Structure formats: structure tokens, C-alpha cells
Chains A and B, each alone.
Chain A
């Protein structure tokens, strides 16, 4: 069962949170001061899965608690839940190391969704760390054209192979250096092989940009990548444009004509 530490000195609010979170199936522990929260977190650092942290606390305030926790190397998912909603407060919360920030008054359903989001991210992270080693999926074994024991960080398609760890593309013995970003874009496209990928998704997942940046910036990368991997960059066969969406990577295109 997931356990949540609620750091909140307003007793009514804390009890209301406890009632609802317990109804959702979480275990809840309440700390009324920043000091108490730090103490319980350092004593039983593994007992909690998420922290809900108020800012205006007696003694050490939430920002300080957050910063001290991160300095001590405790990276437990933390949502700051506070009445202070001015932009400078929100920025200060994130700067201190918060994972999420929600202002009071809040909607119960949204609070619960955000807690679930934090827990889910934690699970995904764990899962991806566990699965890193056995990298090869069943498609590799089914497709005998590609030799199964491929070195880690290498992807081969046709007569070309990408060496992600060396930042290198090899085409029939010829070597092309890749920049880190080019390699990341290529890796992302290869991971989504066969499926169209939107420019926005690439910006978010490869560059971690969430603003409305000009998504056309990606096109330059695609032009360069085509020069490397396409026999005829004007008539791409691997890196296809999907009109109105973005791009699609095809490892083994069916022979044209």
C-alpha cells in the first residue's frame, strides 16, 4: 500500500485530507511542523511514497523543508500544497526541488490525480531501470535478418547501423559523426518505429520543451539525418514525412516499384 506523508499544520485540512486519501486506499501520516516532517523522513526514508508539503508551517517553512530534503539526497516525489499562488512562490517551490505545485483551494479530484501521477512516474522509473538490461524484444528474434546478439546501443537497418554510444552512423563501412541531439532524435524515431511521431511530442520528449516553441526547428534535424541515412535525401525511404503530423521511421522499407 502506498503511504503518503501530509505536512500540514491546519488540523482541519489535514484531517480532511487524511479521510479522503485513506478512502482512496493510501496510508496517511500527518506531520504538523517542518521539523517533524524532516525527522520522520530521515528516520524512515523508505516508508513513504509521496509527500504533500504545505508552505506556511510553524518553524521551518515548506520551501526550507523541501530544500533540506533534496540536499540530504532524499528525492521522494513531493507535491507542494499551499495558499501561496503568486508566480514567484511557485517558482521558488520548484527551485527548492518540488515535483509538483498545487494552490489552495484545490479540487479534490485534481489533487488525487496529481498524487497518482507522481506515484505512476515513480513506478515507470523503477520499471525502466529494471528492464534496461534485457533490451531486445521479441521482434528481434522473429526477424532473422537482424542478428540477435546486437551490442547495446546499436541499431542496424539495411546496410546502415547507428552506434548511439559512439555517436556514429555507419553506412557500408563509411562513418558519419552524429551530434548528441541528432542521435537523440534518431533514437526517439527508432523507438517509435513504424508509428507517426508528432513534432510536438519530439520537442517534449527529446528536448523536454513544453512551451509553444516553433516546431519547425525539428525539420532541420530531419534534413540532416536524411542526408546521412537516405540514399536519395529528396526521396526518403526511411525517414518519412507524415503530412500534418510529423515523421515516421521505417527500418526496412518495402522495395519500391
Chain B
């Protein structure tokens, strides 16, 4: 409902811009046809007209962009509210249950496990939000150290396997040659973990993810995370790296997220002089995310 309203206002401002421009052109053409003799005035008029038109165009562009940003910001607030409050609600509910009711031992153990899971989830969201602030701050320096990329990838995979309870063959590592990069270990780990988390989250039924490291052009090393999941429409391949952005539609409500993971991946890549991008043959056909870092000689 709200989104539809925004779409309407975007359409309205575009229509207003186009309408204004056509009115100006019409009036002007009419003017020129009736007073074609006064040459200098005509020239000045053309200049002024061009200015006015570009003003209207710029104004419309910014308005539309602002409305879009607002829309994303709203969606982000809703998602963060949900991701922060739901685990707290869950933990609270189980604590109150344990406090007020007689619970047998097996149930009690299960409740403890659920509460731990939920507090991990809460911590994950908090870290993601805080990290966005850190990688987004231009002035903040990296604490660079030589990193063995292969061992960081393995570390991330081990973490993900325990977190999502999947066997090694579902979350496989295909190691390439040993490479060392200069980087902030914490940030590199976060970026790779985000890609693996996404691959698992967006694998609809069976988790079948492979992570591969390989040299590219001799100067770079790429980490390729490939899944057999929901895939990405062509038009969204670039959008998804934007801050707060989530692919609109059913999927965003089915798979919970706050729209920061890939933004962090791209920011980390940029800060390390590398790149990050996504490849997909389309919805339902899986996707591959590539993260490139420069190799240290």
C-alpha cells in the first residue's frame, strides 16, 4: 500500500517534469515562429530554455532518487526492527516459560539450545549493522596484515557448517594455489562469511554450495562462492550490492535479511583494492558471487 503510494508519487513527479518541459517547448516554438527575425534574442532564449529544461530534469531526477532512498530506508528500518526484536521476543518467551512453568529436562535442554541460537542470531545482526558503519566510514584505516586466503576460507566454512548444521560435502571447498594477500583479517573473514551465509540462506531446498579460490590475471585471487539456489534476475545483479537494497517481491519476505551483507562485501573488496560482483543465469538457476583481492608478491 505504502509502496504503491510511492510509485504513484514517482510517476507523478516524472509526469510533472515531462509536462513542464513540453509546455515550455511548445510556448517557445510558438514564440520563435511568430518572432523569427530577432536573432540575438533567439540565441539568448535558446540558452535560457536549455537551462530551464536541465533544471527541471535535474530536479526530477533527484526527487525520484530521494523517494526511492526513503522507500529503501523504510524497508531497512522494518527489517532491522524485525531482526532485532524477534530473537529478543523469543529469548524472553523461553526465559519466562522456564521461570513460571514446570519444564522437564529434555524440554529444558531444548529451550536452552533455542535461546543460544537466538542470541547468536541477534549478535549476527548487531555485528552486521556495526560493521556497515565501520566499512562505510571513509576515514577509518585498515589494520593490514599478510593473510593466507585459503585458511581464512576454511575457517569461514567450518563456522558455517556448524552454524547451519550441514555436512562438508554440502558446503565444499575447492582450494586453488596458496596465495597471500594484504588485508584486515576481520573484514576479509566477514566478507567471505557473508557470501557463504547468503549462499546457504538462498538455497531453497538442498544446500549445495562450493567455494573455490583461484588466481585471475596473475595479479588477483578470486574467491568464488557458487550455489544452486534461487538465482538472481539480470536487472538486479548490480543493485543487490547497494546498501539496504533487497530484491523486491516474495523472496525478501521468505528469506529474512536486512540488506547489508553484500554492501559490506563490496565495501571490503574496494577497501582492499579488489572487486566484488555477482553472476547468475536467472531466477531458479543458482548464482555465483566473486570476491577478488590483489595478490602480494
A residues whose Cβ falls under 8 Å from a Cβ of B: 10, 12-13, 15-17, 19-20, 23, 56-59, 61, 63, 83-85, 103-109
Contact = CB atoms under 8 A, between A and B. Distances in A.
Interface of B: 1, 78, 81-82, 84-86, 88-90, 92-94, 96-97, 100-101, 107, 111, 114, 117-118, 250, 253-254
A8 to B, nearest CB: 10
A19 B97 contact: yes
A13 B253 contact: no
B287 to A, nearest CB: 20
B86 A23 contact: no
A32 to B, nearest CB: 10
Contacts, number: 67
A84 B96 contact: no
Contact of B90 (A12, A20, A56): A12
A10 B101 contact: no
Contact of A84 (B1, B78, B97, B118): B78
B253 A58 contact: yes
15 contacts: A10-B86, A12-B94, A16-B111, A19-B97, A20-B93, A20-B97, A20-B101, A58-B254, A61-B253, A83-B82, A84-B81, A105-B88, A105-B92, A109-B96, A109-B100
A105 B100 contact: no
Contact of B94 (A10, A16, A56, A107): A16
A93 to B, nearest CB: 13
Contacts of B118: 12
B82 A56 contact: yes
Given A83-B82, A84-B81, A105-B85, A16 B254 contact: no
A15 B114 CA distance: 10
A106 B91 CA distance: 11
B168 to A, nearest CB: 26
Contact of B96 (A12, A15, A56, A107): A107
B101 A23 contact: yes
Given A16-B90, A16-B111, A19-B107, 11 more contacts: A12-B90, A12-B94, A16-B93, A23-B101, A58-B254, A59-B250, A61-B253, A63-B1, A83-B81, A83-B82, A83-B84
B82 A84 contact: yes
A83 B254 contact: no
B238 to A, nearest CB: 26
A59 B81 contact: no
Given A84-B78, A108-B97, A13 B90 contact: yes
Contact of B85 (A12, A20, A83): A83
Contacts of A103: 85
B89 A106 contact: yes
A157 B93 CA distance: 56
Contacts of B94: 12, 16
A145 to B, nearest CB: 55
Contacts of A57: 253
A249 B88 CA distance: 52
Contacts of A59: 250, 253-254
Which 4 A-B pairs rank lowest in CB-CB distance, beginning with the nearest? Answer: A104-B89, A83-B85, A105-B89, A58-B254
